[in-house]
Amino acid sequence: MGRTQTVWIVSHFEFLGPPYWLDELVGYVASTKSGALRYLKTVRVDPGTWWGIQPCPVDGPTETSPGRQMLYSRNGKRMKGGYTLKQALNLSRELRARNAARIRAWRRAKKKGGTKSPPSRPS
């Protein structure tokens, strides 16, 4: 019997609500761990969310379970655990406050005859 091929499953985690619950969405499958990590660094997600990557054998015996899931921040840095609900909400509030300030500044500039394009999404 030959060697079993492994794929890397990339999941995105976030809190949804209220009432709040943790949502996990499998969004990508990579053939290598480095491919999965490269994907994390190219996709933009909101603050307070995080990634998980997990090795999983393809066409292996049914008793084979996926490997341990590793968690990464939205920027692709390794984490020991995911965010708590309080941490996630605080990060989200900070982003909304920054975006609201940028939009107010853009509207003031537009009234004065300045910029015509809306502010870009922050990284």
pLDDT tens digit string along 101-123?
Answer: 888 888 888 887 766 666 666 54
Q: pTM for the full model? A: 0.71
Contacts of 38 (CB under 8 A, 6+ apart): 30
For the chain, the domain total comes to 1
Report in angstroms the alpha-carbon separations of 72 from 95, 102, 109. 19, 28, 38
Q: 46 in a domain, yes or no?
A: yes
CB atoms within 10 A of CB 28: 17
Asked whether residue 11 is assigned to any structural domain, the reply reads yes
Task: Collect all residues with Cβ–Cβ distance below 8 Å to 67 and sequence separation of at least 6.
Answer: 6, 54, 55, 56
- Is residue 72 within 8 A of residue 78, CB to CB? The reply is yes
Signed CA dihedral, 25, 84, 95, 36: sign only: negative
* Residue 38 belongs to a domain: yes
The verdict on residue 113 lying in a domain is no
Per-residue model confidence as pLDDT tens digits over 68-82 = 899 999 888 999 988
> Which tokens belong to 68?
């341990």
Residue 12 forms part of a structural domain: yes
Range of the domain at 66: 6-82
The pLDDT of residue 39: 95
Residue 25 belongs to a domain: yes
Domain contains 50: yes
- Say if 61 falls within a structural domain: yes
